[in-house]
Amino acid sequence: MRDVEPILWKGGRLSLLDQRRLPQRETYLELRGARDTARAIRSMVVRGAPAIGVTAAFGLALEAARFRSGHLRDDFERAAGVLLAARPTAVNLRWALERLRETAAAVGQDAAPRTLAAALRKQALALYREDIAANRALGAAGARVLPSGDVLTHCNAGALATAGYGTALGVIRAAWSSGRRFGVYATETRPFLQGARLTAWELVRLRIPVTLITDGMVGALLATRKVAAVVVGTDRTAANGDVANKIGTYTIAVLARRHGVPFYVAAPTSSIDLDCASGDDIPIEERDADEVTHIRGRRVATEGVRVFNPAFDVTPAELVTAIITEQGVVRGGDRTGLARAVHAAQRHR
């Protein structure tokens, strides 16, 4: 079966698999510039830290076709600002735009707009390919440390959350591809149901056995069944190893600790933010109340209720067994190891 392609870049055109409609419908939306790309990211047509980084890069490259001669820097920064504002928590958005900024600087502000646009398209495509390669390296590294037995994952850190292959699911599929056999428990991940709709869909396609649970069942699962490890992704990991990831992750980490289950975070170095000292510095997006009061467009909650809807939470480094990067596996809370991995990735570009 062909791999899932959340981001299609063909003949200079960008299309996104509309993840809001999965698994019921597989439809692609074509994007034309920074503004509609930002809107697609904000409304979760595409989600997952690596995927939104790469998508933003393509969006900015498309927007560059409209940059004005002599105003390249201003136009670049305006478009980058629109994209950066789309979602605050994942650092990959900032990381990808920074990579494009370096490209723009190298091209110079006196270049012809079409020269800059061509360079940005090339760089965005490089980021896309780098992301897939990083995920494959991360998956292989993770498969080497993953204990044998069933695995629990949360939200979707699969091919759909990246340019392709996946981070947490990358570890799982690398272990599976090496011939090991096990089952995966996937939390449904309210409010957006990434687990029920996206992770389960990917694993069924890969023919890896997947069992769905609601988010509240994690405690009962760990208390009554044998789970060998938890593997999740991350939207931003701070310099001290604190991990921001989809809401519900912290809850799982606390339970994993109580039950002695190792807790792994699959973190491509693009999601590690050495400028953030700790989780306290990571901005946590709060999203619309509608996401909680409604499910798939229909109201379920009573009228008149207030809502608290943080999209992410922070798992302190002390609850993290190890962080798996494409540069190798770093023990939870090992600041030096994290910095080394980020710097190694920078040298390898």
What are the distances in angstroms from CA 40 to CA 44, 57, 155? 6, 13, 19
Minimum CB distance to a second copy smaller for 15 or for 251: 251
| Angstrom distances, CA of residue 330 to CA of 16, 81, 156, 158, 241 | 33, 33, 22, 21, 9
Note the helical H segments in 8-112: 34-42, 49-63, 72-84, 92-107
- The site map against a second copy for 135-174 (x = CB under 8 A) is -------------------x--------------------
Q: Does residue 298 touch a second copy according to CB under 8 A?
A: yes
For position 217 contacting a second copy by CB under 8 A, the verdict is yes
Q: For a second copy, give the closer residue by CB, 66 or 296.
A: 296
List 235, 273, 313, 334, catalytic entry: 235
Give the Cα separation of 75 and 230 in Å (integer): 44
Asked if 220 is part of the footprint of a second copy (rule: CB under 8 A), the reply reads: yes
2, 10, 306, 349: which one binds a second copy (CB under 8 A):
306
Interatomic CA distance for residues 348 and 299, integer angstroms? 49
Burial of 126 (0-12, 13-18, 19+ CB in 10 A): middle
Least distance CB 1 / a second copy (angstroms): 13
Residues linked to residue 10 through DSSP beta bridges, in sequence order:
13
Instruction: Pick from 95, 128, 165, 250 the residue near a second copy by CB under 8 A.
Output: 250
Task: Give the span between the Cα atoms of 123 and 106, in whole angstroms.
Answer: 12
Selected binder of a second copy within 108, 180, 214, 290 (CB under 8 A): 214
Query: Letter for the amino acid at 275?
Result: D
Q: Is 296 in the site for a second copy (CB under 8 A)?
A: yes
C-beta closer to a second copy: residue 94 or 246? 246
328: left (phi over 0), alpha (psi -120 to 50) or beta: left
* 223 sits near a second copy (criterion: CB under 8 A): yes
**Window 76 to 95, contacts with a second copy (CB under 8 A):** none
Q: What is the rounded CA–CA span in Å between residue 69 and residue 149?
A: 59
Residues 123, 156, 167, 187: which binds a second copy (CB under 8 A)? Answer: 187
Single out the residue of 161, 182, 181 nearest to residue 170, CA to CA.
161
Q: Tell me the closest approach of the beta carbon of residue 17 to a second copy, in angstroms.
A: 14
Q: Which of 9, 58, 201, 264 binds a second copy (CB under 8 A)?
A: 201
- Contact between 185 and a second copy (CB under 8 A)? yes
Size of interface with a second copy, in residues (CB under 8 A): 61
Q: Is residue 281 flagged as an active site residue? A: no
Rounded-to-integer distance, Cα 92 and Cα 258, Å: 31
Does 97 interact with a second copy (rule: CB under 8 A)?
A: no
Which is closer to a second copy, CB of 14 or CB of 244?
244
x/- contact string, 7-46, with a second copy (CB under 8 A)? ---------------xxx----------------------
* Tokens representing residue 156 in the block: 């979707």
Q: Is 228 in the site for a second copy (CB under 8 A)?
A: no
Please tell me the distance from the alpha carbon of residue 193 to that of residue 198, in angstroms, as a whole number. 8
Q: Which two tokens stand for residue 146?
A: 């993953």
CB of 152 to a second copy, least distance (A): 11
Is residue 173 within 8 Å of 204, Cβ to Cβ? no
Nearest to 160 by CA among 149, 170, 146: 170
Name the residues annotated as catalytic.
235
Q: Which residues of the shown chain bind a second copy in the complex (CB under 8 A)?
A: 22-24, 154, 185-191, 193, 196-197, 200-201, 203-204, 209-221, 223-225, 247-248, 250-251, 253-255, 258, 292-293, 295-296, 298-310, 313-314
